Amino acid sequence: MTYFTDEELKCPHTGIVKLHPGFLEALNDLRIAFNKPMIVNSCCRSKEHNNIIGGHVRSLHVYDEPFHPINGCMAVDISTRGWSFKELSTFIELAENKGWSVGIAKTFVHIDRRVDIGINQTWYVY
């Protein structure tokens, strides 16, 4: 079962959804474990769109002309609006246990699969 639509995952600039192999399966697995809706703020980004919004030059959101040796997007930002502290803590713990790197911001959590391309798992605060 897929919990995320192309509409949610596409680049807002190009309309393209290009995900690194295994990314959607890992995202669905995290959604099943979390057992609550996950609202996508940002997933696939063209390099141009990433530059326009001020994204990091090494962003794992970028599916075309990526900095890293990836074959599609391998990052997603999930809205945390309306989540309790317990829900946020649970989500972060599940994500870390499943190999996701986690970036915590005021209104969203960035998660990515950098471990799948040999980059150490990490967590950070924006």
Smallest Cα–Cα separation from 44: which of 92, 79, 7, 80? 7
Q: What is the pLDDT of residues 15-32, one digit of tens each?
A: 999 999 999 999 999 999
Does the pTM of the predicted model rise above 0.75?
A: yes
Residue 1 confidence class, pLDDT cut points 50, 70, 90 = low
Quick count: other Cβ atoms within 10 Å of Cβ 47? Answer: 19
Looking at the chain, the whole-number percentage of residues with pLDDT higher than 70 is 99
Residue 71 counted as domain residue: yes
- Terminal CA-to-CA distance of the chain, rounded, Å? 32
Residue 85 counted as domain residue: yes
Domain count along the chain? 1
Task: Give whole-number Cα distances, 82 to 31, 34, 107, 123, in Å.
Answer: 17, 15, 9, 22
Give me the CATH number covering residue 115.
3.30.1380.10
Residue recorded with tokens 């809706």: 37
User: In terms of residue numbers, what domain contains 59?
Assistant: 6-125
Amino acid at 125: V
